[in-house]
Amino acid sequence: MSLTSLRVFFIGGLLSYRALFGWLSPWVMIPTFVIAPIFQILLFTYIGRAAHLRSDEFYVVGNALQYASIPCVFAMTNTVAGERYQSTLGAVLVTPAKRIPLFVGRSLPVILNGFLVAAFAFAAGGAILRIHVPASSIPALALVLFVTATATTGLGLSTAAIALLARDTATLSNIVFGTLLVVTGANVALEDLPGWMSTPAQGLPLTHGIEAARRLADGASFGRVGGLVAAEALVGLLWAVLGYATIRLLEWQSRIHATLERA
Amino acid sequence: MRNVRLLAVGWVMHMKMLSTSSFNGLLAIVYPIFFATVAFFIYQAGNENALAYAGLGAAVMGIWGSTSTAAGAALQRERWHGTLEVLVTSPAPFSLVLLPITIAMASIGLYSMFSTLLWGRLLFGIHVPVHDWPLFCASILATILSIGMCGFLIAVAFVRYRTAWALGNLLEYPVWMVCGFLVPLHEFPEAVQWISRTLAPTWGMRAIRDASNGTPIVTDLLVCVALGAGYMLAGVILAERLLRSARAKATLSLT
C-alpha cells in the first residue's frame, strides 16, 4: 500500500468520521451512547424479570453488544449518506484515491466507537445490576467486543452501499438496528426464536459474538469460544466484502446512468 | 371558535405531513414492533399468561415512541425549514400553533398501536379482550391527548437546544420502562413507582387496561387528563417566557 493510500486510510478515515458522524457533539453523544444503552439494558432486564425467564446477566451482555450497532451501522451509513447531504459525494467519487483505503479507512474510528460504547454499556449495566464476571474473562471479553464491533461495522458498510440507492438512511439504519435487536439472540435465546428467524441470524453479526460473550461471562475460557469468535469475524468479513462490492457496483452504475444524485 | 378551528386544521395538516414522512410515519409503525416482538418472545417463553398484558402494553408503547423523539425535534424542524420565526410572529398564540403538531405526532402512534395489535394477533395469537369498547376508545383518546401535551412540554422545554431530538430520543426508553407498558410497576423500587405516578402515560395505560378488563376506569382517566392538562399549562407558561427571552436576546434562530 502506497503512502498516499495509507494517508487516505488513516487520516482520511478519521477526518471523514469527525466531519460526517454528526453524533459527536456531547449533547448527542452522551444521551445516545452513554445513557440510552443503560436504559435499553434496564428495559429488557425488567421485562425478563417480569417474565421470570433469564438472568440479568443474559440481558446485560446481549444488549451491551447489540447497542454497538448504533455507532457501527449509523456511522458507516453516513460515510455515503453524509457525503450526499454535504454535497461532496460526487467530489469524493471522482478522486483518484483507491477505494479500499477510502471506504475501509472510514471504518476504523467507527469500530473503535462501537467497541467503546459496548464496553461502557457492559461495565455500567453490569455495575448497576450487580452481575459478576470473572476477572480472568475480561481480556477475552474485550477481544470479543472488538471483533463484534468490527463485524457489525462490516454490516454497516453494506447499509452504506444502499445509501447510494436510497435517501432516507435514518429509517434504513433504524430498521437494521431493530432487526438485530430481535434476531441475534440479544434478548431472546436463539432456541426460543422460530427457525425462519434463528437460521438467517447465523449470517448476521452479533449473533456469534453475543453467544461467545455470554459464555465468557459465565467463566468459559477463550479456547472454548474460539469457534464462535472466528464465526463472528467471518460473518463481518463477508458483509464488508459484500458492502464494498456493492458500493463499487453502484458507483460504476451511477457513472454510467448519471444517477449519483438522483437517489 | 377560531382557536378550535386552528387546532383542528393544524392537527389535520400535520397528520398529513407526518404520514408522508418515512421517518415519522413508517418508522413510527415499524420501530415499536421490533421491541414488541422481543417482548412477546420473552413473555411467550417465560410467562405465556402475561402475553395479553404485553400485547396491549406494546401496542400503546408506540404512541409514546412516535411522540418523544419527534416532539423533541419539532421546533428544530421548524427552525430548519425557516418557519419558526413566522410561526412565532403569527397573531395566533404560539401554543395553539405547536399543540396540534405534538398531538398529531401522538396520533401517528395510533397506526403503530393497531399494527402492533395485528402483529401480535397474527404471529403470536395474542387476543386482547375488550369488555367496554366506548370506554376503551375514550381511554385511548385521553392517552393520545395527554401524551401529545407531554410532547408539547418537551418541545417547548428543548427549544433552545439544536440537538433536541437526541434529548427527546433519550426519553423513549425510560417512559417505556416505568409507565407499565411492558413491566408491571410493582417490579420497580418504590421511588421509581412514585416517578411513574407523575407521568400521564402510566394512568392512560392503566385506563386502557381497565377498560379492556371491564373494571372501572374513571380515576385513571381523570388523573391522565389532569396530568396532561398540567403539562399543557406548564408548556404554555414556559413557551411565553422562553419566547419573550428569545425575542429580547434575538436568539430564536440559534445562529
For chain A, what are the domain ranges?
3-257
**A170 vs A257: CA distance, rounded Å:** 25
Q: Is residue B255 part of a domain?
A: no
A186 versus A256: the higher-pLDDT residue is A186
Stretch B28-44: mean pLDDT, rounded? 91
pLDDT band at B29 (very low <50, low <70, confident <90, very high): confident
pLDDT band at A95 (very low <50, low <70, confident <90, very high): confident
Q: Is residue B83 part of a domain?
A: yes
Task: Pick the most confident of A190-199, B18-27, B49-58.
Answer: A190-199
**B183 vs A195: CA distance, rounded Å:** 27
pLDDT band at B254 (very low <50, low <70, confident <90, very high): low
pLDDT above 90 (res A228): yes
Residue B238 domain boundaries: 2-249
pLDDT above 70 (res A140): yes
pLDDT above 60 (res B232): yes
pLDDT above 80 (res A259): no
A27–B166 C-beta distance less than 8 A = yes
Q: Is residue B254 part of a domain?
A: no
Please give, rounded to a whole number of angstroms, the shortest distance from the CA of A180 to a CA of chain B. Answer: 9
pLDDT above 80 (res A66): yes
Tell me which chain A residues have a C-beta less than 8 angstroms from the C-beta of B47.
50-53
Q: What is the pTM of this model?
A: 0.92
Q: Which of A42, A51, A187 sits opposite B177 (nearest CB)?
A: A42
Q: Which CA distances in Å does A113 have to A120, A172, A245, A257? A: 11, 20, 24, 36
Q: Which of B41, B43, B188 sits opposite A193 (nearest CB)?
A: B41
pLDDT band at A151 (very low <50, low <70, confident <90, very high): very high
Q: Is residue B241 part of a domain?
A: yes
Please give, rounded to a whole number of angstroms, the shortest distance from the CA of A3 to a CA of chain B. Answer: 39
Looking up cell 395489535 gives: B117
**B161 vs A226: CA distance, rounded Å:** 47
pLDDT at site B118: 94
pLDDT above 80 (res A261): no
Which of A161, A210, A178 has its CA nearest to residue A58? A210
A43–B176 C-beta distance less than 8 A = yes
pLDDT above 70 (res A49): yes
pLDDT per residue over B136-187, tens digit each? 999 999 999 999 999 999 998 888 788 888 888 899 999 999 999 999 999 9
Q: Which CA distances in Å does B75 have to A58, A222, B92, B206? A: 40, 51, 16, 31
Q: Touching check for A166 and chain B: CB below 8 Å?
A: no
Q: Which of B31, B50, B161 sits opposite A27 (nearest CB)?
A: B161
Q: Touching check for A55 and chain B: CB below 8 Å?
A: no
Q: Is residue B49 part of a domain?
A: yes
pLDDT band at A152 (very low <50, low <70, confident <90, very high): very high
Q: How many domains does chain B have?
A: 1
Looking up cell 448519471 gives: A258
pLDDT band at B82 (very low <50, low <70, confident <90, very high): confident
pLDDT above 60 (res A263): no
Testing the interface with B: which of A43, A49, A183 to mutate, by most B Cβ within 10 A?
A: A43
Q: Touching check for A187 and chain B: CB below 8 Å?
A: yes
Please give, rounded to a whole number of angstroms, the shortest distance from the CA of A167 to a CA of chain B. Answer: 11
Three-state DSSP class for A221?
A: coil
pLDDT at site B255: 59
Residue pair B134/B83 in contact by the 8 Å Cβ criterion = no
Please give, rounded to a whole number of angstroms, the shortest distance from the CA of A4 to a CA of chain B. Answer: 36
pLDDT, chain A, mean: 91
Residues of B within an 8 Å Cβ radius of A: 22-23, 26-27, 30-31, 33-35, 37-39, 41-47, 50, 161-163, 166-167, 169-170, 173-174, 176-177, 182-184, 187-188
Tell me which chain B residues have a C-beta less than 8 angstroms from the C-beta of A173.
none
Q: Is residue B182 part of a domain?
A: yes
pLDDT per residue over B194-208, tens digit each? 999 999 999 999 999
Residue pair B166/B18 in contact by the 8 Å Cβ criterion = no
Residue pair B93/B7 in contact by the 8 Å Cβ criterion = no
Three-state DSSP class for B44?
A: helix
pLDDT per residue over A17-46, tens digit each? 888 777 788 888 899 999 999 999 999 999
Q: Is residue B170 part of a domain?
A: yes
